[in-house]
Chains A and B, each alone.
Chain A
Amino acid sequence: AQTVTQSQPEMSVQEAETVTLSCTYDTSESDYYLFWYKQPPSRQMILVIRQEAYKQQNATENRFSVNFQKAAKSFSLKISDSQLGDAAMYFCAYRPTQGGSEKLVFGKGTKLTVNP
């Protein structure tokens, strides 16, 4: 079974600094999607960034970028120029592209605090 591990329950960063959140996963599939979701205090889940496993290029969305290491099964999220609004729970998630399952497998989350 696929699993997603986020080894950092909590992280903190100073405003305007850079922080990296870690995520590893376990799968025997060769093709899949990886996601980072943000859940602020409002508890609305927001998609931050998506990575297709077949793409070697790391995904980037403005201040958010990933370091995708397929062989190591690692998918870290880098937040640059951190802002107070980035404070939230961040969940890493995995989804295979084949096999008919559309279910997301979530990690346990990392709580990010941004200090002014």
Chain B
Amino acid sequence: GAVVSQHPSWVICKSGTSVKIECRSLDFQATTMFWYRQFPKQSLMLMATSNEGSKATYEQGVEKDKFLINHASLTLSTLTVTSAHPEDSSFYICSTQRKYEQYFGPGTRLTVT
């Protein structure tokens, strides 16, 4: 398997502020990471694919300027929610790709007040 961490696990921020979520691959170098969003009682929705050293690929309907993704190293990808609003409140999950399997981080609960 693979070990993936996320930080923070839970964050509360005020509307209009930005918040950064870190995703780390702890035991192997991940050239590709994925960011998902999950609403309560729903499935995972892929937001973007993060590639080390290049721009992320966003899924249709995901605002690039709203959700900034940086994959600056083989072990770290970050998701920054800019000018957060209450509708951005959600559970955000990252994953790494190793061979043909994805391994998931424990998730970050974002609450925007």
Chain A residues with CB under 8 Å of chain B are 33, 35, 37, 42-47, 50, 91, 95, 97, 102-104, 106-109
What A residues does B100 contact at CB under 8 A? 33, 50, 95, 97
Query: How many whole Å from A34's CB to the nearest CB in chain B?
Result: 11
Query: Which residue in B49, B91, B101, B107 is a CB contact (below 8 Å) of A47?
Result: B101
CB distance A91 to B107 under 8 Å? Answer: no
Residue in B34, B44, B97, B107 whose Cβ sees the most chain A Cβ within 10 Å: B44
> Total interface residues on B, using CB and 8 Å?
20
* In the complex, per-residue mask of B47-59: 1 if CB is within 8 Å of any chain A CB, else 0: 0010000000000
Q: With an 8 A cutoff between CB atoms, is B80 at the interface? A: no
What B residues does A35 contact at CB under 8 A? 101
Q: With an 8 A cutoff between CB atoms, is B46 at the interface? A: yes
Query: How many whole Å from B25's CB to the nearest CB in chain A?
Result: 15
Contacts A42-B106, A45-B93, A47-B101; is A103 near B43 (CB within 8 Å)? no
Contacts A42-B106, A43-B91; is A102 near B32 (CB within 8 Å)? yes
